[in-house]
């Protein structure tokens, strides 16, 4: 069963879906979920929530502020620390619902939000279980891995020019999220699989998705280091799902973060790339997360 919901995040209304198991009669363990860099909830989060609901779990799925159905200004801007705070607002909202067991709340995140849930697991002890899928570990290292060395300096100059323009009163500049030819069109996620997944998924499932973010979003990405929190998630149970062929959020960074994490923890290694977790490897990814949540929450 799914219903539309909205909740207040300190003056900004966030909107999404609440999934509940069919014929649930008592408050249920519930997973709070949001998507990654620029993505909206229609980009396969419904499929994960359905798997969780079929296993007797609730799921609160929402769009990040400034994206999709949620309010917020500046549109298409991603502030990672604001998104972490919004997860905490979502948890508070979930606790208020009579259908939700507030003592059994988990968080799930993927890619950018996979980094967020590492931070959340370390700082918010209302959370009793964490699943971090193909996570961002280090914005700085990820930036260096994605951007050609000869383009690093021009990218930093772009950040500086945007700062000067905003100081002079201009609106924040925008940049594409993905591009078919990143060599000729600057974009935030310059990999071929990013272009293919975002454009294909937007066309088939998520017409609300827009291929742009603020330049400031990319700058904040480079400053964000969620992997530094991984050793503090314990004693909350942590699962990290890594795609062996991931070169968008490199697999080696995620595997190293898993080694730094303390028990209880579990590693799931998928065979494909970053976006295969939503499609080709969906059953393995969603099934592992479901079983982890059921083990530690239900």
Location of structure tokens 């359905």: 50
Distances, alpha carbon 276 to alpha carbons 269, 279, 281, 287, in Å: 12, 5, 5, 14
Q: What pLDDT sits at residue 183?
A: 83
Band of the pLDDT at 12, cuts 50, 70, 90? Answer: very high
pLDDT at 148: 87
pLDDT band of residue 83 (cuts 50, 70, 90) is very high
The residue behind tokens 């998507």 is: 35
Q: What is the pLDDT of residues 115-173, one digit of tens each?
A: 999 999 999 999 999 999 999 999 999 999 999 888 899 999 999 999 999 999 999 99
Token duo for residue 153: 């300096």
pLDDT at 25: 84
Domains of the chain, residue spans = 2-138+225-297
Give pLDDT, residue 153: 94
Cβ neighbours of residue 209 under 8 Å, at least 6 residues apart?
A: 38, 39, 40, 42, 43, 68, 198, 201, 202
In sequence order, the 6+-apart residues with CB closer than 8 A to the CB of 231 are: 260, 261, 262
Question: Phi, psi (5° rounding) for residue 194?
Answer: -65, -45
- CATH superfamily assigned to domain 2-138+225-297: Alpha/Beta hydrolase fold, catalytic domain (3.40.50.1820)
What confidence score (pLDDT) does residue 298 get? Answer: 87
pLDDT of 262 higher than 90? yes
> Would you say residue 24 has pLDDT above 90?
no
* CA separation for the pair 293, 298 (Å, rounded): 7
| Global pTM value | 0.97
Given a cut of 90, whether residue 184 has pLDDT beyond it is no
Cβ count within 10 A of residue 124: 17
């Amino acid at each position: 069963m799914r219903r539309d919901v909205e909740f207040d995040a300190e003056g900004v209304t966030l909107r999404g879906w609440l999934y509940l198991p069919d014929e649930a009669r008592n408050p249920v363990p519930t997973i709070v979920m949001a998507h990654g860099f620029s993505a909206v909830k229609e980009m396969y989060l419904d499929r994960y929530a359905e798997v969780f609901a079929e296993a007797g779990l609730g799921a609160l799925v929402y769009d990040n502020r400034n994206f999709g159905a949620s309010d917020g200004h500046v549109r298409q801007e991603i502030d990672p620390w604001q998104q972490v705070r919004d997860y905490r607002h979502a948890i508070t909202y979930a606790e208020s619902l009579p259908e939700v067991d507030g003592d059994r709340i988990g968080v799930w995140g993927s890619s950018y939000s996979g980094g967020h849930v590492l931070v959340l697991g370390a700082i918010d002890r209302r959370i009793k279980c964490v699943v971090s899928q193909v996570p961002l570990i280090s914005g700085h290292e990820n930036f260096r891995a994605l951007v050609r060395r000869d383009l690093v300096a021009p990218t930093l100059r772009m950040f500086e020019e945007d700062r000067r323009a905003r100081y002079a009163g201009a609106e924040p500049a925008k940049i594409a999220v993905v591009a078919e030819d990143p060599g000729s069109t600057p974009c935030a996620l310059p990999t071929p699989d990013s272009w293919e997944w975002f454009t294909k998924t937007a066309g088939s499932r998520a017409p609300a998705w827009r291929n742009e973010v603020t330049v400031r979003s990319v700058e904040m990405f480079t400053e964000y280091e969620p992997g530094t929190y991984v050793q503090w998630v314990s004693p909350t149970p942590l699962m990290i799902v890594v795609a062996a062929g991931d070169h968008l959020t490199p697999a080696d960074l995620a595997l190293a973060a898993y080694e730094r994490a303390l028990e209880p923890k579990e590693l799931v290694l998928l065979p494909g790339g970053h976006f295969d977790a939503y499609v080709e490897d969906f059953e393995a990814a969603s099934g592992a997360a479901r079983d982890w949540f059921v083990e530690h929450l239900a």
